[in-house]
Structure 1
Amino acid sequence: MTSYLHTFPLIAPADEKGFIYRGFIEINQVEHYIELHLPRPHSNTSANIYGSHELRTIISPFQSIIQSRLDQCQDVGMFLSDLKDTLENISSPSVTHHTRVKPSWERYALIYAELNTIGYDKLDSMDDTMDEFIFKCKDLGGRLHTIKAYIPPQYPLQSPVIKAELPSEKHHIGYMDDSKRDITTSTITTTTSHSTTNHQSLSALLDRTLQALDNYQLFFSTMDQLDQQTRVIDPDHPSRADTWRRIALGNHCSLQITIQDPSQPTKYIPIVRFFGNEKKVLPFQQAWHQFINAQQWQPDISLVENLTRALPSVLRSKYTTSSDRIMDTATKEQDDDMACAICYAYKLVQSTGDDGSTDKKHQETPDTICTNQQCNRGFHPSCLFEWLRSNPTTTRSFNVLFGSCPYCNNKITIKAIL
């Protein structure tokens, strides 16, 4: 069979077996991000199509037809060619531009009615064209959540798009935003058998989102307890969608814990991975494995309680003053044993742009550890590189610097940072 994928040079396989394709498809001289997930043989998974918001808006009225064709797809190139022809026939640029520039007065009247139903106390902000809204809503536990809503120009003929931070992909109901795939929810496209003409109102979708958030109260409480009672070193500012934490144990040792089922955070033993010097981290690994092998995990108690039974050092050291104010001086001493011994910070953020902008991908942690067990200090690679480079006794061979630990003079090496 002749493949037509070569006619789409901006789309390529994203995995070795050719079940996932990513790239850009041109519709009426406008490029749209698209991602195809084909069904795997001998599995119950169905094919899925994801993409940019604009592409999902064009596809949504014909989602069932396109989904059926994708399920029966024998050649990705032929499917993309068919999809391109179909979408170009139904979405001319002039119509799209007209609907965006001159939305009907009925649309504005309906949006105002929706806002009255929702309540203006929940509305945080909106743009001038009434296309995007940000709501601040509390769940059953009193936690404040930011929920974003996009109203398409064809509303109410097309359903709004809702984005909220949810910890599980099972609430991923629609398009996949390429920057935050795991926290996007949408009802433009559903995985149920509902008709594509059964569009939902903004208030109904907001209620659905709040119900989904309410289903994760135990998960939110569990993660809040981790943040409050343990020394979380990563992520810096966790979102409600994050199901993992990296927790300091001391002596430049840490563990990363990942919740397997956010709907039942303590039912299953979490995935635990240890980091640090091999000899220093060994006692923690042995204690954890002994705890698990003895089947001491108890689903009916909190995650923090289970962790501290196996690893007491995960708890944050605090004391309370006479005014019941929590003080962190003991915690400050604990944090010092995780910080870089040169700059005294845990994370080092490197500038990646000419304007001094930064990127999370260019953050360093003190992962270079002195091998002297009596010292065991950690350093950022950049800090240690600059220290050794300024030391006249340091030698260099190719791209490796050979020098001495700034504290104990033990031999230490670091790759040159070019």
Structure 2
Amino acid sequence: MSETGTMLYQCPLLLPQNKEKTIYDGFITALGRDFRLRVFLPSDFQLQNARLQCSVHLKNVLHGYHQIVKQRLQHSCDLGSFMLELKTILEAALKNKRELNAPPPPQYYSCLVKDIENLGWDKLVFVDTELSTIRLKVEDSAGREHLITLHLKANSSLINIRKQFLAALESMKEFWDVMDEIDEKTWVLEPEKPTRNATTRRIAVGNNVSINIDVDPRHPKMLPECYFLGAEHVVIPLRSKLNNNIHLWEPESNLLQNLKNVLEIDFPARASTEKSDFSMDCGICYAYRLDTTVPDQVCDDPRCGQPFHQVCLYEWLRGLPSSRQSFNVIFGECPYCSKPITLKMSMKKT
């Protein structure tokens, strides 16, 4: 059989596009599916210099087989024999994908239902129609409720996965205990609704004065990263106490109590105060929240103490002819009391 006859037999839908028969365009068929393909042959018809142009679907099926296809292209004696090799590779690739995407055996579903019964149907929040994605409610040893979303496979054990998840939750218990105590016993200004993965808290210390802490989840009782927000005449003494009393920090003791000891303060109690007492609106835009920021720049005059958003105060001072700037520090007058005010443009004020 001639090469043309072999090509017609192997790939009747792949036809030459010019009289020199150096360009073929059409489809290759495997396991009842057609895939678009173009073949560009050099003028000497040497296959090692040939080029294939595959459709997106064909590329996806042959993903991981590119090196094999290249080898077959270099070692085939003619285009007809190469197309036979390509069909064999394509059929193998399709069979492998079918096996990977094959539905689980019937016993998988019976075991899964039994696992859910053992855990309790009340713990089931969501399950898709294929029983491959499941969302469960899980409680840790402290009674905190968590949601876990599982993408199950044929060999998955719901009970074992839950045990692994509970072990991971237990490793975070100390961190969550520390954060829960802070949330329960202090006025947390930021974030308003902390999630379990939030490591920072901005805690009210007094009117327009707060401390922002960033707790290390791996070592939650160690001294956290701290920076203060508020008027300098209040912040400077607090910063000084933190530096001078660092030796009082006891790594195995309660974090909140350590903060009280080191700073020599009592945080305002939730029972005797309101959150609004510590979250005054910006004196320029008259809003508390501006995008994701809150008023964290405060007039240093004790008789004023008006807070401002950093960006609001920056725009105000920049518009005053009497203001001056040195690098990222602007010197001007408070919009409320006209006393000297300094603004340092930075992400954090320590």
Q: TM-score range by the shorter chain?
A: 0.5 to 0.7
Q: Which residue of 2 aligns with 1:298?
A: 250
2:295 alignment partner in structure 1:
366
Residues 134 and 150 of structure 1, relative CA distance in 2, 3 Å threshold? same
1:373 positional shift:
5.2
**AA at the equivalent of 1:227:** D
CA contact (8 A) 2:208 2:231 kept: yes
User: Residue 149 of structure 1: SS of its match in structure 2?
Assistant: strand
Say whether the 8 Å CA contact 1:402–1:412 is kept in structure 2: yes
| CA pair 288-388 structure 1, distance change in 2 beyond 3 A | closer
- Provide TM-score, normalisation by structure 1: 0.50
TM-score (norm 2): 0.58
Q: How far apart are the structure 2 equivalents of 1:311 and 1:412?
A: 26
Aligned to 2:148: 147
Equivalent residue, structure 1, for 2:16: none
Contact 1:134-1:147 within 8 A present in 2 as well: yes
1:129-140 pair list within 5 angstroms: 129-140=130-141
Query: 1:265 aligned to 217, 220, 229, which one?
Result: 220
| Cα deviation digits, residues 42-84 of structure 1 (max 9, x gap) | xxxxxxxxxxxxxxxx9xxxxxxxxxxxxxxxxxxxxxxxxxx
Is 2:277 the partner of 1:348? no
Q: What is the CA-CA distance between 1:287 and the residue it aligns to? A: 1.0
Contact 1:287–1:311 (8 Å) recurs in 2:
yes
Separation in structure 2 between the aligned mates of residue 347 and residue 138 of structure 1, nearest angstrom: 34
Partner of 2:242: 288
Contact preservation (8 Å) 2:186, 2:270: no
- The residue correspondences of 1:13-162 to structure 2 (distance < 5 A) are 96=97, 100=101, 102=103, 104-152=105-153, 155-156=154-155, 159=156
Q: Is residue 248–residue 314 contact of structure 1 (8 Å, CA) maintained in 2?
A: no
**C-alpha spacing 1:317/1:118, structure 2 compared with 1 (3 Å):** closer
Distance of 1:118 and 1:140 partners within structure 2: 16
The separation in 1 between residues aligned to 2:340 and 2:149, in whole angstroms, is 54
* 1:234 aligned onto 2:190: yes
Over the aligned positions, Cα root-mean-square deviation in angstroms equals: 4.3
CA distance in 2, matches of 1:334, 1:287: 22
Shift of 1:283: 0.6
3-state SS of 1:310 partner: helix
Q: What stretches of structure 1 of length at least 5 have no aligned partner?
A: 1-25, 31-57, 59-87, 160-200, 320-326, 350-362
Q: Is the 8 A contact 1:395 1:403 kept in 2?
A: no
Equivalences, count: 257
Decide which of 290, 306, 309 is 1:380's aligned counterpart: 309
Q: How many angstroms does 1:395 deviate by?
A: 6.2
The answer to whether the 8 Å contact 1:251/1:280 transfers is no
- Amino acid aligned to 2:289: K
With over 3 angstroms needed to count, the CA separation of the structure-2 counterparts of 1:127 and 1:223, relative to structure 1, is same
CA distance change for structure 1 residues 131 and 412 in 2, over 3 Å: closer, same or farther?
farther
- 1:115 deviation in Å? 1.6
Give yes or no for the alignment of 1:407 onto 2:298. no
Structure with the greater alpha carbon radius of gyration: 2
Residue 231 (structure 1) shift: 2.3
Distance 1:396 1:404 in 2: 8
Q: Which residue of 2 aligns with 1:164?
A: none
In structure 1, C-alpha distance between the alignment counterparts of 2:209 and 2:114, rounded to whole Å: 55
Q: Specify the alignment match of 2:164 in structure 1.
A: 208
Cα distance, 1:251 vs. partner? 5.0
1:225 aligns with 2:181: yes
Q: Which is helix-richer, 1 or 2?
A: 2
1:244 aligned to 2:186?
A: no
Closer, same or farther in 2 for the Cα pair 1:335/1:408, shift >3 Å?
same
Q: Is the 8 Å Cα contact of residues 230 and 314 (structure 1) preserved in structure 2?
A: no
- Residue 332 of structure 1: aligned partner: 276
* 1:123-144 deviation line (CA, Å, top 9, x unaligned): 1122233232221121111111
